[in-house]
Structure 1
Amino acid sequence: MAVMDAPPATSPLAGLKARLAALFGSSNERSLTNRLAGTIFLIRVVSAAMAYGAQILLARWMGTSDYGVYVYVWTWVLLLGSMLDFGISASAQKIIPEYRASGDLDRLRGFLSGSRWGTLAASSLVSLALAALVWALSSSIDPATMLPLYLGCLTLPAFVVANTQDGIARSHDWMKLGLMPQFIIRQALIIGFTAGLFVLGFQLGAVAAMAASCAAVWLAMIGQMIALNRRLAGHVASGPRAYDVRGWLATSLPILLVESFYLLLSYTDVLVLQQFRSAEDVGVYYAVVKTLALVSFIHYAMSATTAHRFTEYHAAGDKDRLAAYVKHAIAWTFWPSLAATLVLLALGKPLLWLFGPQFTQGYGIMFVAAIGLMVRAAIGPVERLLNMLGHQNMCALAYALAFAVNLILCLVLVPRFGGYGAAAATSAALTFETVLLFWIVRKRLGLHVLAFGKKG
C-alpha cells in the first residue's frame, strides 16, 4: 500500500501560512497597514529594549536619587518637546494627503520646508524663555536640578524638529525614516555617550546623563533632516513654494490642543509624584512605566499607520471602506495589547529587578497601571480618527476633562498612596477618557469603536 508523505493542503501549517499571507503578504490596504504597523511596532520594541537597557544602566550607575532627577527633567523634555511643534507633526498627516489629493504642489513644497524651519524658530524662542524662567526661579528650585533643566532647554528645539520630520515621513509611509532616528539612533547614541563617560571614569550624575541625551537628540535630528531632504527631492518635483501658514495653524492648533491634553494626561502622574514624594519613588514609578511601555507602543504603531489613511478615505467619501478600516485598526490594537499586558505582568518582577533590587517594590503598581492601558486599547486609535475627520474640538474636550480628572485624583491620591495613587489616578482618567471618546464617535460618526461586542 502506498504511503502519502506530503501533508494535505488543509494541514494546520498550510492554514497558518495562508492566514499570515492574507494578513501581511497581499497588496490591499489592510495588509499594507499590518506591515507598516508591524514595522513601527518592531522599531518601537527594539527602541524599547535599548531604552530599557539604558534606563537600567543609568539607574545602576547614577543611583536612585540622580536617576530620579534625570527622569524628572527628561519628562519635561518629552512633554514640552511634543507640544512645541504646535500640532504640525500630527496635522502633517492631514495636510500632506489633502495637498497631494488636490494637486497643490506649491503649498505641499512650502509645507515640507516651512513646517520644519518654523517649528525650529518657534521652539528656540520658547526654549530661551524657559531657560530665563529657570534662572529667575533659581532660588526656589533644587540646585541639583538647575543644570539638568538648562540642558533640557537646549535639547528642546532639536526634539521638536525631529517630531515634525517624523510626521512628514509617516505621511509618505516612510516609517523607518520617521522613527529610526528618534527611537533607534538616538537611543544608541545615548547609550554610547553615557557608557563612554562611565568607562572614562566621569561621575555619571543627572548632569552628565542630560548632556549625553542632548547631544544624541541633536545628532539624530540633523542626520534625519539630511536623509529626509534627499528622499523628498526624489519624490516631490522642485518648483515654487507657497506658505499657507494661517491655514496650517488653523488645522494644527486644534490638534495641538488634543495632543497637549493627551500629553498632560500621560505625564501628570510623574510630575505630581515628584512634588509629593522622593526622587527614589519617582525612579521606581518611572521604571514601572517603562516596563509597561510595550503596550503603549502597539497603540502608537496603529495610530501612526492609520491617521493619514483616515483622511484619504474620508476625503474620497468612501464611508464603508472607512468603517471597515477603523474596525480593523481597533482589533489590531486591542488583542495584541492584551497579549503583551499578560506577558509583562507575568514577567514584571524580574524585569524590575534588572533596575536594581529596590525597584521590585513597584511590581504591584504594574497591575494598577495596566488597567488604564487595556481600557484605552479597547477602542483603538479613535482619537486620530476624530482629529483627521474634523472633530478635533470634541476630542480636545474629552482629553481636557480626562486631564482634569487625572490631576485632581493625583493630587488627592499621590500624597497618601505614592506610586499606587498615581497609577490609580491615571487608570481612572484613561477609563473616563475612553468612555467619552466611544460616545463621541458613536454620536458624531455612527461607528461602533469597541474591540468586542455587537455593532448596533
Structure 2
Amino acid sequence: MAAIDAEPATAQPQGSIARLRSMLGGLLGGSGEASLTRRLAGTIFVIRVLSAALAYFSQVLLARWMGGSDYGIYVYVWTWVLLLGSMMDFGISSSAQKIIPEYRARGEQALLRGFLSGSRWMTFAASAAVSMLLAALVRLLSPWIGADEVVPLYIGCATLPAFVLANTQDGIARSHDWMRLGLMPQFVIRQALIIGITAGMFVAGFHLGATAAMLASAAAVWIAMTGQMIALNHRLAGHIPAGPKSYDIGFWLSISLPILMVEGFYLLLSYTDVLVLQQFRSSEEVGVYFAVVKTLALVSFIHYAMSATTAHRFAEYHALGDQERLSAYVAHAIKWTFWPSLAATILLLALGKPLLWLFGPQFVVGYDIMFVAAIGLVVRAAVGPVERLLNMLGHQYVCALAYALSFVMNVVLCVALVPRFGGHGAAAATSISLVFETVLLFYIVRRRLGLHVLAFGKR
C-alpha cells in the first residue's frame, strides 16, 4: 500500500513539470512573428532583470559604503549622465530601427554601410564637443555649485561620449535582432564593472565618496562601450558585404530629430522628479527616492523590452502596406506589455519593504512612495509601446507634442508639490503626468491610425 500511495506523489511533480514545459513551449516556441517577438522580448527582459539585479546590488553597496550625502550626490550626477547621454545621439539609436529596415528593404547597401559607420562617428564627435562645452559650463558655474559636486560633474562630462556611442551601437544591434549584443554591454557588463571597480576601491581602503564612485562608473562605461564596438564590427563584417559607402546625413536627421524630441521630452519627464527633488530637499531624501525608483524599475523594463523588440517591425509592416498584420502585431505588443507589468507591480509592492531595507534601514521610509509611483507606471503600460508605433509611422511631431505637454505638467506639479511633500509629491507629480500622457497617446492613435490601443476593451 505504501508503494501504491507513493506513486501519485511522484507523478504529480512530474506532471507539474510537464505542464510548465508545455506552457513555456506555447509562450516561447513556434516560428511565427508573435513567437519570435515574445522570444526576443523575453531575451531583453531577462537582460534587463539581470541588469536590475546588478544595478540594485551596486546601489545597495554604494549606499552603504558611501553614506547618505555622498550617495545622493552620486545619484544626482549619474542622473544627469543618463539624461544627457540618452539625448545626445540626435535620436539615432531609435531611428536606426526605422532607417536600417528601410535601406534593407530597398536594397540600398551603400547607404546602409554608410549609416552603420557614419552614424557612430557623427554621434561620438558631436557628444564629445558638447561634453567639452558642458565641462566649461561647470567651471563657469562652480562658485554656485556645491563644492562636493564639481569634480563628479567633470567626470560625468568625460563619461558622456562613450555613453552616447554605446546607445547608438545598441540601436544598430537591435535593428538586426542582436538583442544580447545591443544590451549586454550597457546593462550587464557595465553594472558588473561598476560593482567590481568600486568593491576593489573599498577593499583597498580608498574613501568611496561621490568622486570615486563616478570614476568607477566612467571607467565601466568606456570599457563596456569599447568591447561592444569590437564585437559589433565583427558581427557586421560577417553580415553585410564590403563595398562603397554613401552618407545621407540630411535624411538621417530628418528621421532622427523628431524622434529625439519625443525621447527627449520622455527622458525629461522621467528624470524631472529626481532633479527637482535635489533642488528642494536633502541629498539623503534624494537617495531614498532614487531607491524607490530603482525598486520599481522592473515594471519599466517590461515596457522597454517590448518597445525595443517591436519598433523596427512596426516600420517594416508599415513600409509593406500590410495594415492587417500591423494591427494584429500592435494588439499583441500591448497585451504583452500590460499584463506582465501589472503582475510585476503587484509583486514589487508586496515585497517593497524588504527590498528597500537592503539599501539600509533608513530607506524603508520610502515604502509609501512606491504605491504613488506605481500608479503612473501601470497606466502607461496599458497602451503598450504606442510611442514607438507613432515614431515608426511618421507621426513623431504630434507624439513629441504629447510628451512636451506631459513634461510641462510634470515640471509644474513637481515645483508645486516637492517643496511641501518631498518624495511623495515627486511621485504624485510623475504619476499624474504619466496618466495624462497615456490619455493623449490613446487619443492620437485612435484619431490618426484608427487603432484601439488599450490592453482591454473593444477593438
Same fold, TM-score > 0.5, yes or no: yes
- In the alignment, which of 401, 421, 443 is matched to residue 425 of structure 2? 421
RMSD across aligned C-alpha pairs, in angstroms? 1.6
In structure 1, how many angstroms separate the alpha carbons of the residues matched to 2:403 and 2:65?
38
Structure 1 position 17, deviation (Å): 4.4
Where does 1:85-164 land on structure 2 (aligned, <5 Å)? Answer: 85-164=89-168
Cα separation, partners in 2 of 1:50 and 1:14, compared to 1, 3 Å: closer
Q: Which amino acid is the alignment partner of residue 40 of structure 1?
A: I
- Choose the corresponding residue for 1:219, options 213, 216, 223: 223
1:331 corresponds, among 322, 328, 335, to 335
Q: Distance in 2 between matches of 1:152 and 1:428?
A: 31
**Residues in 2 aligned to 1:55 and 1:207: alpha-carbon distance in whole angstroms:** 15
TM-score normalised by the chain length of structure 2: 0.96
Which of 243, 246, 252 pairs up with 1:242?
246
Secondary structure of 2:205's partner?
Answer: coil
Q: Distance in 1 between matches of 2:160 and 2:385?
A: 27
Shift of 1:22: 3.0
Aligned to 1:191: 195
Q: Which amino acid in the other structure matches residue 134 of structure 1?
A: V
Question: What CA distance in whole angstroms lies between the structure 1 residues aligned with 2:17 and 2:54?
Answer: 34
Map Cα deviations across residues 132-184 of structure 1 (whole Å, 9 max, x no partner).
Answer: 00000011000000000000000000000000000000000000000000011
Contact 1:107 1:242 (8 Å CA) reproduced: yes
* Counterparts of residues 264-413 of structure 1 (less than 5 Å): 264-413=268-417
For residue 454 of structure 1, report the CA deviation from its aligned partner.
1.4
Question: Runs of 4+ in structure 1 displaced over 4 angstroms?
Answer: 3-7, 11-19
**Which residue in the other structure is 2:74 paired with?**
70
* Runs of at least 5 residues in structure 2 that lack an aligned partner in the other structure: none
1:176 corresponds to which residue? 180
Give the partner amino acid of 2:457: G
Number of equivalences:
451
Correspondence for 1:203: 207
Residues of 2 paired with 1:120 and 1:182: CA distance?
Answer: 16
Partner of 1:165, secondary structure, is helix
Work out whether residues 23 and 30 of structure 1, in 8 Å CA contact, stay in contact via their aligned partners in 2. no
In structure 1, the partner of 2:30 is 26
Contact 1:307–1:385 under 8 Å retained in 2: yes
SS in structure 1 of the partner of residue 233 of structure 2: helix
Distance in 2 between residues matched to 1:332 and 1:297, nearest whole Å: 12
Task: State the one-letter code of the partner of 2:340.
Answer: P
User: Per-residue displacement from partner, 1:357-408 (whole Å, max 9, x unpaired)?
Assistant: 1000000000000000000000000000000000010100000000000000
Using the alignment, how far apart are the partners of 2:352 and 2:27 within structure 1? 31
Give the CA deviation at 1:19: 4.2
Q: Is the 8 A contact 1:284 1:362 kept in 2?
A: yes
Q: Secondary structure at the match of 2:67?
A: helix
Amino acid at match of 1:92: A
- The CA distance in 2 between the partners of 1:17 and 1:261, in whole Å, is 42
Measure, in 2, the Cα distance between the counterparts of 1:228 and 1:155: 21
Distance 1:271 1:57 in 2: 23
Percent identity (aligned) = 76
Whichever residue aligns with residue 414 of structure 1, its letter is V
- Residues 23 and 31, structure 1, Cα contact 8 Å, conserved in 2: yes
Code of the aligned partner of 1:186: R
Gaps of 5+ in 1: none
Mean CA deviation greater in 240-249 or 12-21: 12-21
Residues 190-217 of structure 1: CA deviation (Å, up to 9, x unaligned): 0000000000000000000000000000
Q: CA deviation at 1:23?
A: 2.2
Mapping of residues 10-21 of structure 1, within 5 Å: 17-21=21-25
Give 1:106 shift. 0.4
2:258 matched to which residue of 1? 254
Q: Deviations over 1:107-139 (max 9, x none)?
A: 000000000011000000000000000000011
